[in-house]
């Protein structure tokens, strides 16, 4: 089932949490809402679920207006950040609860409930824990129970609010691969909220980057990462170095560095900022042919297979972060305090008017 959100506005007191948000989620798609805290992503998710009411705008499920439909009637499965399992019920009862509470004709037979719950617990690989209570489970297990509970009511849409936010890094990685596989098998339209860009890029079919109540960019993970639409998106999806300068007729002057920027051919003498990812910064001991920046190595930090260098520009003292592979670093054999030449493999220049728009 597809979800469409049109012109949603939401205020909390004076705070404008969502400003004219429009979004379309295709049937069977897994979409990530990505943004810093306070960007309105959870609010948007709760409005889709019907847990929160928008000030204005419409929510459509499968093309039908569902704005005034009650949560109950929207048939959504919701997974909460802190699991929200019912503490006084066993794992089995938690999952069965949504089926048990149905009244009248909709109430399924006990045999069906048992079969359905066991099937779901097997799906989340927790069949052996059916008789335990939530407090006896680990965080990762609890979240899987919560997912099983959400799936029990046969939702047409699955909504996940920072599902892995409270888990440790390793479990989180495991669970997100598992979620991806589950989504591939079940093909339920899913929306999940996260502030972890890695998670969003790894799991989702499409990523929706949000900031200050607005959608900054919607696109496939590669798209969003390689072709960020705005300065914010660039900044948010991974670390970034900034170079301030000016652009004139396709030439960018970035503090001693001159670069061709054909996409800004028509720009006349405008202030600009260049964004460079640390892994697009190359470091050499000697000046090579292309344009380079002189810098001093301030710190060296090894992060597993990568080595991160914190460099200080000789000219203006600004910091540059560079990320090298361990082999490259060993080849260079750099020590703190040494002078190096920095070249930029790939950079993206935003001129002033797009800065103010961002």
Partner 1 sequence: MRAPDPLGREGAPRVALDGGVARFSGCWTIGRVGGVERELARLEWPRDRPLILDASRVTALDTAGAWLLESTRRALARSRHEVSVAGLRPDHEALVAMIRARVADRAESVRARSKGALARVGELAARSIRQLLGILGFVGESAFAATAVLRHPRRLRWRPVLHNIESAGFRALPITGLLSFLMGVVIAYQGATQLERYGANIFVADLVGLAMLRELSPLLTAIIVAGRSGSAYAAQIGTMKVTEEIDALRTVGIAPFDLLVLPKLIALTIALPLLVVYADALAVMGGMMMAKTSLGVGYADFLDRFEHAIDLPDYLVGIGKAPVFAAIIAVVGCYQGFQVSGDAESVGRQTTVSVVQSIFLVIVADAAFSVAFSYLGI
Nearer to partner 1, 229 or 318 (CB): 318
Cβ of residue 94: shortest distance to partner 1, in angstroms? 9
Cβ of residue 153: shortest distance to partner 1, in angstroms? 6
Cβ atoms of residues 17 and 40 within 8 Å: yes
Cβ of residue 194: shortest distance to partner 1, in angstroms? 17
Task: Name the 3-class secondary structure at 295.
Answer: strand
Bridge partners (DSSP) listed for residue 34: 194, 209
Nearer to partner 1, 74 or 277 (CB): 74
Cβ atoms of residues 320 and 295 within 8 Å: yes
Nearer to partner 1, 187 or 244 (CB): 244
Task: Lay out the sheet containing 306-313: strands in order across.
Answer: 281-284, 339-344, 293-303, 306-313, 319-325
Could you give the CA distance from residue 61 to residue 45 in angstroms, rounded to a whole number? 14
Nearer to partner 1, 23 or 96 (CB): 96
Cβ of residue 255: shortest distance to partner 1, in angstroms? 11
How many Cα atoms within 13 Å fall on the side-chain side of residue 308?
A: 13
Cβ of residue 26: shortest distance to partner 1, in angstroms? 22
Give the list of residues 6+ apart from residue 266 with CB closer than 8 angstroms, or none.
249
Cβ of residue 221: shortest distance to partner 1, in angstroms? 28
Helix ranges (H only) for the chain are 41-49, 71-74, 91-100, 110-123, 139-152, 169-186, 197-203, 221-226, 231-236, 326-332, 352-357
Q: What is the DSSP letter of 53?
A: -
Write down how long the chain is. 358
Nearer to partner 1, 172 or 313 (CB): 313
Nearer to partner 1, 160 or 259 (CB): 160
Nearer to partner 1, 34 or 95 (CB): 95
Token look-up 């090894």 returns 302
What phi, psi does 277 have (nearest 5°)? -75, 145
Cβ of residue 290: shortest distance to partner 1, in angstroms? 26
What phi, psi does 105 have (nearest 5°)? -70, -30
Could you give the CA distance from residue 67 to residue 50 in angstroms, rounded to a whole number? 8
Task: Lay out the sheet containing 251-253: strands in order across.
Answer: 258-260, 251-253, 241-248, 270-276, 348-351
Nearer to partner 1, 77 or 221 (CB): 77
Nearer to partner 1, 153 or 209 (CB): 153
Could you give the CA distance from residue 53 to residue 55 in angstroms, rounded to a whole number? 7
Cβ of residue 102: shortest distance to partner 1, in angstroms? 7
Cβ of residue 201: shortest distance to partner 1, in angstroms? 27
Bridge partners (DSSP) listed for residue 49: none
Judged by the rule CB under 8 A, the positions of this chain that interact with partner 1 are 46, 49-51, 71-72, 76-78, 80-87, 97-98, 101-103, 149-150, 153, 242, 244, 316-318
DSSP 175-193: HHHHHHHHHHHH--EEEEE
């Amino acid at each position: 089932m597809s979800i469409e959100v049109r012109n949603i506005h939401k205020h909390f007191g004076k705070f404008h949490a969502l400003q004219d948000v429009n979004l379309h989620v295709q049937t069977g798609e897994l979409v990530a809402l990505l943004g810093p805290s306070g960007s309105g992503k959870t609010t948007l998710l709760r409005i889709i679920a019907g847990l929160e009411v928008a000030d204005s705008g419409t929510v459509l499920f499968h093309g039908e207006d569902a704005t005034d439909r009650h949560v109950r009637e929207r048939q959504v499965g919701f997974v909460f950040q802190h699991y929200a399992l019912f503490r006084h019920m066993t794992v089995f009862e938690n999952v069965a609860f949504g089926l048990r509470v149905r009244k009248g004709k909709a109430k399924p037979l006990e045999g069906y409930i048992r079969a359905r719950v066991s099937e779901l617990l097997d799906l989340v690989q927790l069949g052996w824990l059916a008789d335990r209570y939530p407090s006896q489970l680990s965080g990762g297990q609890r979240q899987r129970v919560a997912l099983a509970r959400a799936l029990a009511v046969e939702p047409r849409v699955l909504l996940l609010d920072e599902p892995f936010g409270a888990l440790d890094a390793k479990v989180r990685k495991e669970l997100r691969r598992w979620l991806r596989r589950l989504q591939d098998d079940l093909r339920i339209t899913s929306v999940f909220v996260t502030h972890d860009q890695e998670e969003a890029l790894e799991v989702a079919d499409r990523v929706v980057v949000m900031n200050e109540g607005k959608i900054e960019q919607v696109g496939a993970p590669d798209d969003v990462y390689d072709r960020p639409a705005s300065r914010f998106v660039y900044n948010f999806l991974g670390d970034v170095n900034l170079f301030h300068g000016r652009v004139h007729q396709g030439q960018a002057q970035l503090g001693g560095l001159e670069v061709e920027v054909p996409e800004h051919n028509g720009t006349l003498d405008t202030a600009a900022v260049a964004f460079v990812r640390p892994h697009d910064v190359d470091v050499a001991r000697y000046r090579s042919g292309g344009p380079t920046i002189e810098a001093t190595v301030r710190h060296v930090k090894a992060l597993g297979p990568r080595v991160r260098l914190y460099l200080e520009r000789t000219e203006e003292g600004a910091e540059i972060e560079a990320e090298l592979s361990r082999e490259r670093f060993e080849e260079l054999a750099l020590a703190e305090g040494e002078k190096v030449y920095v070249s930029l493999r790939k950079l993206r220049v935003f001129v002033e008017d797009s800065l103010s728009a961002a």
